[in-house]
Amino acid sequence: MTTRSLTDRLGGLAFGGDYNPEQWDEPVWKEDDALMRRARVNLATVGVFSWALLEPDEGRYDFAWLDAHMNRLHANGVAVDLATPTASPPPWFTLAHPDALPVTPEGTRLIHGSRDTYCLTAPAYRSAARRIASALAERYGEHPAVALWHVHNEYGTLCYCDHTAAAFRVWLRARHGSLDALNEAWGTAFWSQRYTSWEQVLPPRVTQWHKNPGQALDFRRFWSDEIIAAYREQRDAIRAHSDRPVTTNLMLPAYQNVDLWALARELDVVTSDQYPSAPGLDAAADAAFHADRTRSLAGGHPWLLLEQGTNTVYDRDRVLAKEPGDILRHTLGHIARGSEGALFFQWRQSRAGAETWHSAMVPHAGPDSRVFREVAQVGEAVARLGELAGSTVTASVAVLHEADAWWALGVDGLPSADLDYHAALGRAHRALWDAGVTVDFAHPEHDLSRFPLVIAPALFLLSDGAAENLRRYVAGGGTLLVQHASGYVDDRMHARLGGYPAEPLREALGIRVEEYRPLRRDERIALSDGTHGTVWSESLRAEGAETLAAYAEGMLTGSPALTRHRFGSGKAWYLSTRLDDAGYAALVARLLDEAGVAPEVPGLPAQVEAVVRRAPDGRRWRVLINHRPEPVPLPEPAHDLLTGSTLSELPPGGCAVLRTT
């Protein structure tokens, strides 16, 4: 089952949002029907937080209210993305199964009153989740409104309770085989941590000082496997009664309690949620970062944006408003990169409850509002893009992304707190986005040979397989940039000996890092080419590589900072510090040039996003988004699907979807 069947069922791209009719009453439902028609809504996510209504007491189900909404939506031409409500167990569940509540690393058992108050490893929770998924699927598996199943919501909640400890031990036995092997893997010879029975082994709860890094990393892996197992149980329960595709909404980009590559493989359609953390151009770049990651997780297949905000940008302790036109620009930013439509959280802004102030498609002010008018315009625009369904996107640059590498930078006791995995990934993507090229993310052990350029921004942890894969990629003709602090530990968090990065990547790079020298917060170190580094520096020896820039101050003066090595038919670059923004942009431009990668649509100025979607039959569409305050002439006039006319210029802030040959 693929997204094709979803878009076939919808008759085009998806447009809509989370719909929580249980917060409202009959007159509002009637208005919802009319407004959904006006906004061209064709897909609504229903039931995400409805457990308390669907199962008011343990084992007693009440589907009558949901039947009515399902039938009403169907009659109104709106298909349903039907959720299992397992992210938010009701209060009766807490009282019946107090052992199934989550426990923090400090040992605090959390109580109901918010959401996500469950422990994934608690047997009572898992069976309750399977039961309700099964009951829903049995009732609605063949319902004509159901176009997609939405298991749970943004899996990720962690727990450190005794159920978790027991499950962790089972997982560790399977992974390591014996207690001796676990002791070896975790380096328990240090600090008197040697385990002599499995009962002594615990999740990484709060302890006196640094936690064991091997334990911390294994716990992340274990938890990820638990999430995937829990998802599969519900998915299989649904599949027993329904032939509609099943998904769970991934939360990107900074929330990583699961190996997204592994979870994505289990989904019939990869779906995700996106909420930027800064306004303006940064929000658009964030949408692209998110979309490129989701498409990559989907293996390049079409995917679907299941949530975004109409008017919300989270900026730490406040929400900022999106600018007029942003709803369309962000929506197209995702569709350009392969999303088969765009949905929002949520349809109607809550009048009470925890997310009263979260934006929605119909705001508190009602339909007579800027936000709803823009939403309706965007719905109309998406409705005109039906012919894009099933088309895909091709990227020529890959940025490497891996769960283990991310988790490795989250353990205690690292040499610098400024090694920020998510920031490094986003920065590499942003530099490429600014340069107008389309980016894929790839796992370091994937076949990379189709990419002329690969950037590895943060591979502190590098498995033997990945080191060999990167060596092979360069030898075969690829251009690779490896950035500072890469290849320092193996997949057990053991330090690489004899110099970093790990062999055989070191051989391909033609360098040897002898000493790491993290910089002080706010320290800048001058390089010989006029650029500056921050965060990190290294004492590096060139062993075959040419030095393109050297450190120009302090004890590292003259030591290589940026190197390039011809290896086999390719080139391997190493950057041993975090370059300043201008220096990094210049480096990326040089790499693109050397690798022969041109902007996706040549001839456009900076800040005009351009991505091409291609259909298997040769049809192509250029999706263009002008983030500039002035009009931008197009390289050549073309038919624009949004306006239905021939366009020769993009207005300020304007968008176009051009059909090309």
Q: CA-to-CA distance for 148 and 141, rounded, in angstroms?
A: 10
Minimum Å gap between C-beta 275 and ligand GLA is 5
Our CB check for ligand GLA shows the closer of 349 and 438 to be: 349
Q: CA-to-CA distance for 156 and 161, rounded, in angstroms?
A: 15
**Chain residues in the site for ligand GLA (CB under 6 A):** 153-154, 273, 275, 307, 345, 355, 358
Instruction: For residue 151, give the nearest of 228, 74, 223 by alpha carbon.
Output: 228
Establish whether 183 is an annotated binding residue. no
Q: CA-to-CA distance for 97 and 122, rounded, in angstroms?
A: 9
Minimum Å gap between C-beta 17 and ligand GLA is 10
Query: Any idea what DSSP says for residue 100?
Result: G
Minimum Å gap between C-beta 18 and ligand GLA is 7
Q: Are 650 and 626 in contact (CB under 8 A)?
A: yes
Catalytic annotation, residues: 154, 307
Residues 6+ apart with CB under 8 A from 164: 103, 119, 121, 203
Minimum Å gap between C-beta 250 and ligand GLA is 10
Our CB check for ligand GLA shows the closer of 89 and 583 to be: 89
Q: CA-to-CA distance for 428 and 151, rounded, in angstroms?
A: 32
Q: Are 200 and 225 in contact (CB under 8 A)?
A: no
Establish whether 161 is an annotated binding residue. yes
Exposed/middle/buried for 569, CB within 10 Å: 0-12, 13-18, 19+?
A: exposed
Our CB check for ligand GLA shows the closer of 261 and 275 to be: 275
Our CB check for ligand GLA shows the closer of 273 and 507 to be: 273
Minimum Å gap between C-beta 274 and ligand GLA is 9
Q: CA-to-CA distance for 14 and 271, rounded, in angstroms?
A: 12
Q: CA-to-CA distance for 276 and 255, rounded, in angstroms?
A: 13
Our CB check for ligand GLA shows the closer of 273 and 340 to be: 273
Residue type, 506: R
H helices of 179-308, where?
Answer: 179-186, 213-239, 260-264, 281-297
Exposed/middle/buried for 607, CB within 10 Å: 0-12, 13-18, 19+?
A: middle
Minimum Å gap between C-beta 585 and ligand GLA is 31
Angle between helices 421-434 and 581-595 (to 10 degrees): 60
Establish whether 655 is an annotated binding residue. no
Angle (nearest 5°) at CA 271 between 658 and 611 = 25
Residues 6+ apart with CB under 8 A from 530: none
Our CB check for ligand GLA shows the closer of 358 and 443 to be: 358
Minimum Å gap between C-beta 306 and ligand GLA is 8
Residue type, 328: L
Residue position matching structure tokens 């943060």: 458
The residue of the chain with the least Cβ separation from ligand GLA equals: 273
Instruction: For residue 305, give the nearest of 271, 260, 338, 278 by alpha carbon.
Output: 271
Our CB check for ligand GLA shows the closer of 32 and 273 to be: 273
Q: Binding site residues for Zn(2+), as ranges?
A: 119, 159, 161
Q: Binding site residues, as ranges?
A: 115, 119, 153, 159, 161
Q: Binding site residues for substrate, as ranges?
A: 115, 153
